[in-house]
């Protein structure tokens, strides 16, 4: 089975014995849990895109390992065209879900591991690259969703992993056996971890020799013994638990998801170990993964932005102000900002280059510029959407009030009838339609959807300072000085 569809993916999750906890309780039927299912639907959309003929130009690729057709989320980039198609695919899926579809981290981890394991083997004579290729063949053939797990809790940020008061604040090797290793620790903020079949763990920072036990990369199934997850909550998340909830949910069918993934002395066989103490390559793997993931934001966040712009336009129309010059100007500005992000994603892809291993890597400087823009521009897009929508977006009564048949008016009008009358916008637009678009904007701008748009835009793939550090390293300031000296006629003494 090289390519699954969405329903097949959902059924495949039911076969797992994944351990998940939420609100202090173990969740057994997590696949159908109302708070979790929207995020599963988002991942399912990545499978449906590959299964649908109309989307296969973007969502399907040819494996360089087997020659078979595979889901692009399991692909190793073979050209700048692959890099560009990745960004276009992510924008398309953002338009379909208006949320985080969670498979980008695994895809970006695959490509970072591919080149890094090759270079570790080249220096140390290890066989990590071949191990990784065999693992990736399995992922491609079974069309698995894999969580790319990088971010450790970190504890005291002023101290290195080996200096922490609690040695488990970074994932580490606690035992080396002849047939594998035992690992302990946790990964925080893990997007889509619960919805993944496997996890691919990586270091989170550059290491020193004293940190060798923390320089570890490996893969394991989601239901491996000793691994469990604690579900992260989001703003307005319990609305999904309200009986009959619909309008108040905003984005009812799709959503994002993060968990705290705990490794409680998990055994990893050698065949799934891809770095084991090579501390000098930890930073290289981190930078490559971060670069690919920062490229991703030039696609996924743009697709979500497209939907936000559309919703803001609808809100303006339903409010009767769609022709106001100020509103049109705001929509133009939102589009300008959104397309700027897309341009960055396409640029760093088009300027990509082959690695020693043969896969293609993005232009790192431009990828970091892309993500630094993403830490800012979605906030302005969201602000403008809120401006256009108006205050009712955050003050209107609940869906239950809108549907209530309790009489309260002087003529016997029900609460629902009163809401219907006073929340009406344009006369030819149903009040419910107006409420739906406002609830959607509330969800995406400040509710659960904000996790996958605004806040995740800021902190995902590294917070702003991480991009600034990379830009300072790759900005070629001395070369630019030489250009200026030459044109200005300055000669070296």
C-alpha to C-alpha distance for 217 and 117, rounded to whole angstroms: 10
Q: Which pair of tokens denotes residue 252?
A: 């009812």
Residue 104 annotated to the active site: yes
Q: Is 300 a catalytic residue?
A: yes
Report residue 263 as tokens: 């490794």
**Pick the catalytic residue: 113, 293, 355, 453?**
293
Torsion sign across C-alpha atoms 134, 177, 146, 366? negative
Selected catalytic residue, list 114, 297, 318, 360 = 297
| Annotated catalytic residue within 74, 151, 191, 259 | 191
Catalytic, out of 278, 317, 386, 456? 456
8 Å CB contact between 394 and 380: no
Secondary element (H or E) of residue 387: helix 377-389
Helix (H) or strand (E) holding 267: strand 258-269
Q: Catalytic site residue 220?
A: no
CA dihedral sign, ordered 39, 42, 47, 52: positive
Q: Out of 42, 100, 276, 419, pick the active-site residue.
A: 100
Phi, psi of 23 (to 5 degrees): 55, 35
Helical packing angle, 37-51 and 6-14, nearest 10°: 130
Active site residue 336: no
With 0-12 / 13-18 / 19 or more C-beta atoms within 10 angstroms meaning exposed / middle / buried, residue 197 is: buried
CA distances to 7, 112, 255 from 33, in Å: 16, 33, 13
Q: Which of 42, 104, 419, 445 is catalytic?
A: 104
Q: Is 191 a catalytic residue?
A: yes
Distance CA 204, CA 206 (A): 7
Q: Which residues contact 238 (CB under 8 A, 6 or more apart)?
A: 35
Contact indicator for 190, 258 with CB cutoff of 8 Å: yes
Within 119-161, strands assigned E span 146-149
Tell me whether residue 491 is one of the annotated catalytic residues. no
Active site residue 258: yes
Q: What is the DSSP string of 306-367?
A: HHHHHHHHHHHHHHT-TT-HHHHHHHHHHHHHHHHHHHHHHHHHHT-EE-TTS-EE--HHHH
Q: How far is CA 419 from the centre of its chain?
A: 38
Active-site residue 419, yes or no? no
Q: Which of 220, 276, 300, 419 is catalytic?
A: 300
Among the options 113, 119, 258, 278, which is catalytic?
A: 258
Active site amino acids: 100, 104, 191, 258, 293, 297, 300, 456
């Amino acid at each position: 089975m090289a390519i699954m569809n969405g329903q097949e993916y959902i059924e495949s999750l039911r076969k797992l014995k994944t351990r998940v906890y939420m609100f202090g309780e173990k969740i057994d039927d997590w696949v159908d849990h109302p708070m979790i299912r929207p995020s599963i639907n988002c991942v399912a959309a990545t499978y449906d895109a590959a299964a649908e003929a109309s989307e296969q130009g973007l969502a399907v690729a040819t494996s360089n390992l087997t020659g078979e057709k595979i889901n692009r989320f399991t692909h190793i980039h073979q050209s700048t065209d692959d890099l560009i198609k990745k960004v276009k695919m992510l924008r398309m899926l953002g338009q379909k879900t208006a949320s985080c579809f969670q498979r980008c981290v695994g895809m970006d981890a695959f490509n970072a591991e591919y080149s890094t394991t090759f270079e570790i083997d080249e220096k140390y004579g290890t066989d990590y690259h071949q191990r990784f290729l065999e693992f990736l063949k399995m992922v491609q053939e079974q069309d698995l969703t894999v969580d790319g797990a990088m971010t450790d809790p970190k504890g005291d940020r002023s101290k290195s992993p080996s200096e922490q008061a609690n040695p488990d604040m970074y994932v580490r090797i606690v035992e080396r056996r002849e047939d594998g290793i035992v690992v302990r620790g946790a990964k925080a903020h893990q997007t889509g971890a619960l919805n993944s079949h496997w996890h691919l763990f990586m270091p989170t920072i550059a290491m020193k020799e004293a940190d060798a036990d923390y320089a570890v990369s490996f893969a394991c199934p989601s239901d491996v013994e000793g691994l469990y997850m604690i579900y992260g909550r989001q703003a307005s998340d319990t609305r999904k638990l309200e009986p009959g909830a619909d309008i108040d949910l905003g984005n009812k069918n799709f959503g994002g998801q993060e968990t705290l993934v705990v490794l409680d002395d998990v055994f990893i066989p050698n065949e799934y170990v891809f770095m084991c103490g090579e501390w000098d390559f930890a930073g290289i793997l981190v930078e490559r993964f971060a670069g690919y993931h920062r490229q991703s934001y030039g696609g996924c966040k743009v697709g979500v932005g497209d939907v936000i712009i559309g919703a803001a336009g609808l809100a303006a129309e339903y409010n009767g102000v769609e022709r106001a010059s100020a509103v049109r100007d705001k929509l133009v500005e939102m589009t300008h900002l959104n397309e700027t992000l897309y341009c960055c994603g396409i640029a760093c892809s088009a300027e990509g280059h082959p690695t020693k291993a043969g896969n293609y890597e993005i232009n790192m400087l431009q990828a970091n510029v892309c993500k630094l823009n993403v830490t800012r521009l979605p906030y302005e897009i969201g602000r403008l959407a809120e401006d256009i929508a108006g205050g009712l977006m955050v003050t209107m009564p609940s869906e239950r009030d809108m549907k209530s048949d309790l009489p309260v008016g002087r003529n016997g009008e029900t609460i629902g009838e009163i809401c219907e009358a006073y929340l009406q916008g344009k006369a030819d637009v149903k009040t419910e339609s107006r409420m739906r678009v406002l609830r959607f904007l509330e969800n995406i701008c400040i509710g659960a959807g904000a996790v996958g748009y605004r806040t995740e835009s800021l902190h995902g793939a590294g917070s702003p300072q991480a991009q600034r550090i990379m830009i300072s390293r790759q900005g070629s300031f001395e070369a630019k000085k030489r250009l200026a000296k030459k044109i200005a006629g300055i000669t070296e003494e």
